A and B are shown apart, each in its own frame.
Chain A
Amino acid sequence: MNIAKDRIGGLIFLALSIAYGYSITLIPIYPGDEYEVFTAKTLPTALSVLGALLSFCLLVASRNEEKSQLPNLDWIIAIKLVLLMVFYGAVLEILGFIIATSLFLFCGYWLLGERRKLILLLCSFPLVIFFWFVLTQLLDIYLAPGALIQSIIGN
């Protein structure tokens, strides 16, 4: 895929600076602060102006930029891994640390092409249980069992 990296980057950053600048209007100000030189809005305002200015400079500097080729990337696997991470974040507090993490690791190995059953099983559940043991028993870190487990076992 050929893209003009600087132009795209400049445009995104310009949009971001403008959106950031607009959000400054949402920052509440205490009565009397309008007479102060430095308020909660001062640095953000300066940053938004600076950001817009820099992106404008990049856009100007990149007007003759030639499109460059993106490296040959495997997008599918990246999307799968990202979805797996989102899934892990979503179920962690429901299924609890052990089940959610074991599932995450199992699916992760699977997605990356690991098909040996023994490795798939050994490197997920036992490993997570060992890690859970180190955390909860040795380092004294409390890990909630998860809403689902709690509802089954009861408090």
Chain B
Amino acid sequence: MWEGIYLGVTTAVMPFNLLMMFVGCFAGTFIGMLPGLGPVSAVALMIPVTYGLDPSSGIILMAGVYYGAVFGASTSSILINAPGCSSTVVTAFDGFPLAQQGKAGKALALAAYSSFTGGTIGAIFLVFFAPMLAKVSLSFQSSDYFALMVLGLTAVAAFAGKGNILKALMMCVLGLMLSTVGTDRSNGVERFTFGSIEFIDGLSFLLLAMATFALAEVVMSVMDRKTAAQQNQVNNTSSLGSMKLSKGEVKQVAPTMVRSSVMGFIVGVLPGAGATIASFLAYGVERNVSSKEEKAKFGKGSLKGLAAPESANNAASTGSFVPLLTLGIPGSGTTAVMLGALIAYGIQPGPQLFVDHPDVFWSVIISMYLGNIVLLILNLPLIPYIAKLLEIPRTILIPLILFFSLTGVYLVSFNAFDIQVMVIICIAAIGMRLLDFPLAPMLLGFILGGMLEDNLRRALLINDDSMSFLWDRPLTAVIMTLAILALFGQPLLNLIRSKIGQKQQQNVFDAE
């Protein structure tokens, strides 16, 4: 392992890679800060830029953009109450009240320290967990992979929120359906191309990601009069107040940061759960364990309430790299985009990555750690200036973001037809958003579709066309059971709880 760490450090500290890390963190912070654009869009926007780089540098740049964007999203949550992405919605609960009290500087500094703690603890865990899991996963067979992908898809649906499980599952299916468009990889048959040569290669992942996350998000933010009005009334960002934290305050939030980071990492590792769930969970737990008077402060500018989600979402962002690097299964929308980029480089993430491309594997892990340091030294002194970017009028920003999204896709394919396809997908994505259908599961379904089909085909071939591998092979059976539990666990628990509740009520009634 030490050899690997050494290799990772030497790759990550190469001057060009360090530059990429700085550029990534800065660009990520900037893009993440724009309301409506989160880490997924930020990483997607970077893909065309990274095509000219070698894989290690490219992935270091994207990793930098990722955690830069998570931090940038927190900045807009705190300063203008407009979260850049769903994982920083919780940050606004206490961050924005702090800013209103004139403590914006303190809130931003605390967010930076919390992100740093979360990212660092996450990176340390990643150093130990990822190689361990990578070694174990070398013994995985195609049936296990198939089961893991089913688990990833059901998990993302299960964590979609109450009442949304069905819709998230439908979106997974839609993503899988879209992944079948184009030439079948195993026997060369054209599927759903309707005779058009434009679809022979299938839909491009970048196109889908940009259209659903960048274009649709931006058009939605323009349509929504409430957000538009909110963003036009940007606070005066020139007076942020002091950025210093007192000793007492540090003492108060330190345990919160550690607790939330560990929890965030664990949640992040689970496929499909991601940073949003981690931040909500950490906030909830912290509120529950707080004293009564501290509890009353939550939502009104509590430091703990800000530190918890910030640590958790950064640790979870790092944690989500574990399934990506070791199993080749993205744990979140952003890692799904990165998976697409890695595949475009000709690198297949998974257990073999550890063996075939140890430089990529380790440099990503080490750059995670270095990136957090960069983020801290870059962002803390620059916050007052970066915050000025929020004052750029939307009338200028929005056309520019649209232009970068459209050109990003065009510069990869050089086919103007793709722009029209993007617009169609963007319209569909807006419709889905309005009907409350979550879009991340679709992206996950799309990226896993090809792999799921290949592994199922191989598993059937190995098992003489019998589906018995699902229950004959213990590992596959365990993963499938987990998938079923992920899907039906919560509704079953609710049912049991309501039955017990009814019974208790009946008993009370009988006793009376």
Contact = CB atoms under 8 A, between A and B. Distances in A.
Contacts of B461: 38
Nearest to B48: A141
B166 A29 contact: no
Contacts of B190: 27-28
B224 interface: yes
Given A40-B187, A43-B453, A57-B166, A141 B411 contact: yes
A88 B419 CA distance: 8
B173 A47 contact: yes
Interface residues of A, number: 62
Interface string A100-125: 01001100110011100001000100
B396 A20 contact: no
Contact of A78 (B223, B414, B436): B223
B424 to A, nearest CB: 9
B394 interface: yes
Contacts of B432: 9
Contacts of B180: 43-44, 47
A116 B94 CA distance: 38
B375 interface: no
A8 B435 contact: yes
Contact of B184 (A40, A47, A88): A40
B171 to A, nearest CB: 9
Contacts of A93: 416
Contacts of A112: 222, 394-395, 398-399
A34 interface: no
Contacts of B430: 78
Interface string A122-134: 0100000000000
B402 A72 contact: no
B167 interface: yes
Contacts of B166: 54, 57-58, 61
B142 interface: no
A144 B169 CA distance: 43
A20 B177 contact: yes
Contact of A37 (B215, B426, B460): B460
Count chain B CB atoms within 10 A of each CB in A8, A13, A39, A141 and give the residue with the most: A13
Contacts of B435: 5-6, 8-9, 12
Interface string B406-428: 11001100101111101100110
The size bracket of the interface on B is 35 or more
Contacts of B488: none
Interface in B410-464: 410-411, 414, 416-420, 422-423, 426-427, 430, 432, 434-437, 452-453, 456-457, 460-461
Given A9-B437, A27-B189, A44-B177, A108 B222 contact: no
Contacts of B465: 37-38
Contacts of B173: 17, 47, 50-51, 54
B297 interface: no
A12 B170 CA distance: 11
B441 to A, nearest CB: 12
A51 B174 contact: yes
A77 B437 CA distance: 23
B374 interface: no
Contact of A54 (B170, B194, B226): B170
B27 to A, nearest CB: 14
Interface string A12-36: 1100110010010011111001000
A143 B389 CA distance: 30
A135 B411 CA distance: 9
B167 A86 contact: no
Given A48-B177, A85-B426, 16 more contacts: A9-B167, A9-B432, A27-B192, A38-B457, A38-B465, A44-B180, A47-B173, A73-B225, A77-B222, A85-B419, A89-B420, A92-B419, A101-B407, A105-B403, A112-B395, A139-B52
24 contacts: A5-B435, A26-B194, A27-B191, A37-B460, A38-B456, A51-B174, A54-B169, A55-B170, A57-B166, A58-B170, A70-B434, A74-B224, A74-B228, A81-B402, A85-B419, A86-B420, A89-B416, A89-B422, A89-B423, A92-B410, A92-B419, A104-B403, A123-B400, A144-B414
Q: What 7 pairs across the A-B complex have the smallest Cβ distances?
A: A108-B399, A89-B419, A37-B465, A114-B395, A112-B395, A40-B189, A40-B184
Interface of B: 52, 166-167, 169-170, 173-174, 176-177, 180, 184, 186-187, 189-192, 194, 215, 219, 222-226, 228, 393-396, 398-400, 402-403, 406-407, 410-411, 414, 416-420, 422-423, 426-427, 430, 432, 434-437, 452-453, 456-457, 460-461, 465
